[in-house]
Amino acid sequence: MNPHNDLDPNTEVPSFFWRSLSHQTIFSVAAISRLFLFAFNKTEVHGLPRFLDLLVSRSDYKARRRGLVTVSNHVSVLDDPLIWGVLPLSFAAFHGYMNHRWIFGSHDICFTNAFRSHFFTLGQTLPTHRLAHSKHGGIAQPTLTEGVRLLSSIFARQSSWNPHIRRGLEKTETFRSSWPHDCVDPFSDISPPPSYPSGLDDHRHYLAPSRYACNSNSWIHIFPEGMIHQSRDKSMRYFKWGVARLILEPAECPDVVPMFIEGTDDIMHETRQFPRFIPRIGKKVSVTFGREVDTEAVFGDLRRRWKELRDADYAASVHDPHASCPQEAVGLLLTDPLCRGEEAMELRRECPRRLRLEVLKVRRSRGYPDEDPKAGLAETYLREGPGREGRQSDGTWLKDA
């Protein structure tokens, strides 16, 4: 049984049709967001020049050598895309071309019909299932695997491992996607267009960005709290395990930039009355970009432990105790030992904890006192149950998003 399945080749870029439509979608939303932030609200930005220098240095996808993960608290349904309105329009127009963020969006909110699915796919949103709302949720879902591959190198015109199957399968399913029913590039160089279903019973297929070399070492933003959390002291919930895959699994550890958001909760607070769908104006908004994390110092030991686990799992699958998992194998669906094994689970607890500490440093730089240590523990929130929304006993407000 050969785990090296020789599959369809990658391609360099999506078609001009898809690139143009996606760029126009992202630029238009960025312009609206910037207008709203600076014309109708009082917005201040901290650490932006340093962050822009980083983004500009990543403009040429052929020169990028590692991915980028930005991570922040989540206080409003408008956090994304609103916070990216702080980036100058000149960046969105020029340096942002094939250099904008990817983000995970709730499948049951953003992908409920064909129009929404196309809009959010063009806006570089990946369909993600939440365990509280879908049996297809969890860390092993195909979309998180897409995220891992986007943070890795992608080579055009070479055989590609299918990121949505498990190792050891002799045959793979060919996805027969078609536009406009499916959210794919109708003029792709590959036929059928690169796509994947977000779950086993998803009737719609979505663009597979990890099949395009222009998406090598991409930028992904994530809200690891997994839901909106509005509190008076700007404390955060615990960070969920999915973010650990983005740090541990790429071949090269991505750059990590922590961020902290304030004020968007006043624009769309969960206590707002009719008309709820209209954002409030005249609010004070702040977006703070922290410094790049020293990833070797913070995550190096965890990545080495993960590599040892992955190599051992790979060696077992090929019945060779000395086999080392090849770099091109990064970004496959997780096997059971890597998904549910005790050490793998421990790594996924520790990695988000360390990442949360980096975001807390940015929060502290904004003058907030240290929060209650219990705020970062999953056990603190067990009393809420998986589907709780609204006002909590501690005065905070929650919203699935």
Distance CA 218, CA 67 (A): 5
Kindly report whether the global pTM for this prediction surpasses the value 0.85: yes
| 168 has a pLDDT exceeding 80 | no
The pLDDT of residue 167: 41
83-114 pLDDT, tens digit each: 999 999 999 898 988 999 999 999 999 999 99
In whole angstroms, how far apart are CA 94 and each of 30, 60, 81, 307? 13, 11, 18, 37
Per CATH, is 16-296 categorized as 1.25.10? no
pLDDT, average across residues 265-277: 88
Average pLDDT, the chain: 87
Break the chain into its structural domains and give their ranges: 16-296
- The C-alpha angle with vertex 88 and arms to 78 and 59, in degrees rounded to 5, equals 105
Q: Which band of pLDDT confidence, cut at 50, 70 and 90, is reported for residue 393?
A: low
Strand pairing report for 255-262 and 284-289: antiparallel
- Interval 57-73: pLDDT, tens: 999 999 999 999 999 99
Question: Is residue 383 over pLDDT 60?
Answer: no
